[in-house]
């Protein structure tokens, strides 16, 4: 079974948010609705999404500000911005802030759903980062983008974090991680050592120890 795609919807108009959430759920998405920018930022930083839909005019943290903050932490989730302002300059602002797509209110619901599907497909094709606690791991550069800036990992550290982050809910035994990430080593203590290195660089919550079973990517 493949996981259901997750959508973050940040929209302060309660009726519109409820209607969109209902339609997206019918299409098979798991939807989190945030009624203001602050909640949206919290969700966006702590959970992984396949697509985010952000209203521009939001209480607490304005939509484009929210988008810029997510992008600064390396989150590459495709974003569609909704706006009551439909002029071209406004659209350019949205795209400059890091949005993949932009739709002016009032919009056609079927068009919105089609664009969300397209963003999700594109994301599946191009995702070269993995979400990790506190940031995102860039698989090409071996850097973790965090709110405090990028953190460089060694090849071994990146291999271990990639294995854990690729299946964030799975508990891996030390022997399993040894075989995946350190095929030339024999003693699983090397896994413990590299977990220690990752925690030292990225903070203790980056990896959870599951007593008697092994390790798992840290939870949000």
Specify the stretch interacting with Ca ion by CB under 5 A; choose among 27-35, 56-64, 102-110, 153-161: 56-64
How many binding residues for Ca ion (CB under 5 A)? 3
Residue 55 touches Ca ion, criterion: CB under 5 A: yes
Q: Which residues pair with 150 in a beta bridge?
A: 145
Other beta carbons within 10 Å of 89: 8
Residue 57 lies near Ca ion (rule: CB under 5 A): yes
Q: Tell me, residue by residue from 4 to 33, as one string, x for binding to Ca ion by CB under 5 A and - for no binding.
A: --------x---------------------
Shortest distance in whole angstroms from residue 196 CB to Ca ion = 46
Which residue in the shown chain puts its C-beta closest to Ca ion? Answer: 57
Question: For residues 16 and 35, is the Cβ–Cβ distance under 8 A?
Answer: no
CA distance linking residue 104 with residue 114, whole number of Å: 15
Q: Which is nearer to Ca ion, 9 or 144 (CB)?
A: 9
Nearer to Ca ion, 105 or 117 (CB): 105
Q: Is residue 24 exposed (0-12), middle (13-18) or buried (19+ Cβ within 10 Å)? A: buried
Helix axis angle for 189-202 and 155-166, nearest 10°, is: 90
Residue 85 beta carbon to Ca ion: minimum distance, rounded to whole angstroms? 11
Tokens representing residue 188 in the block: 């699983």
The SS3 call for residue 160 is helix
| Contacts to Ca ion by CB under 5 A | 12, 55, 57
């Amino acid at each position: 079974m493949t996981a259901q795609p997750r959508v973050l919807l940040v929209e302060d108009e309660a009726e519109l948010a409820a209607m969109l959430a209902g339609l997206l759920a019918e299409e098979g998405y798991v939807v989190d609705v945030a009624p203001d920018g602050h909640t949206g930022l919290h969700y966006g930083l702590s959970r992984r999404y396949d697509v985010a839909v952000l209203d521009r005019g939001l209480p607490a943290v304005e939509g484009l500000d929210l988008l810029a903050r997510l992008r600064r932490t390396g989150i590459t989730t495709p974003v569609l911005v909704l706006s009551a302002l439909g002029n071209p300059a406004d659209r350019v602002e949205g795209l400059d802030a890091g949005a993949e797509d932009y739709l002016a209110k009032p919009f056609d619901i079927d068009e919105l759903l089609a664009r969300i599907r397209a963003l999700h497909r594109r994301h599946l094709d191009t995702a070269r980062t993995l979400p990790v606690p506190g940031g995102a791991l860039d698989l090409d550069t071996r850097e973790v983008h965090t709110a405090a800036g990028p953190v460089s990992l060694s090849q071994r550290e990146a291999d271990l974090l990639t294995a854990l982050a690729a299946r964030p809910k799975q508990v891996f035994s030390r022997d399993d991680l040894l075989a995946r990430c350190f095929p030339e080593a024999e003693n699983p203590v090397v896994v413990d050592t590299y977990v220690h290195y990752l925690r030292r660089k990225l903070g203790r919550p980056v990896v959870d120890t599951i007593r008697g079973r092994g390790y798992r990517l840290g939870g949000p």
